[in-house]
Amino acid sequence: MERDYQTIGEKYRSYLMFDYKERIKKLKDYIKINQECLSKMADEYKELFQRCKLPNGEYQMEPLFVEPKDIGKMRSTMKQFVREWAVEVSSYII
């Protein structure tokens, strides 16, 4: 979004009814908040998975075999989670 915004000419930016740069900043802030929240939720279960430490000090989960039906369930759960969360956050974005 930010890169695309930069490609729009000044004339066309002036047609926007709101401060698009501020909207992008808010979105970035919410992404950070979401990541912190999701990390806290996942942190409770970190011992259930094998992890390897990356050179930058962060951890990455080792690949595990997962049944295809479980992947479908996870996708469905995450979509529902995002959809419900989006309602709560959407009023703050614009």
For the chain, 94 residues long, give each residue's pLDDT as a single digit of tens.
888 888 988 899 888 888 888 989 998 998 888 888 878 877 777 777 778 888 998 888 776 777 888 888 888 887 887 777 665 555 555 4
Alpha-carbon 42 to chain mean position: 14
What letter would DSSP give residue 19? -
Token look-up 């992404």 returns 31
User: Is 8 within the bounds of a domain?
Assistant: no
Q: Which domain holds residue 60?
A: 19-93
- Is 9 contained in some domain? no
Does 12 reside within a domain? no
Q: Is residue 81 part of a domain?
A: yes
Q: What is the pTM of this model?
A: 0.51
Domain assignment present for 26 = yes
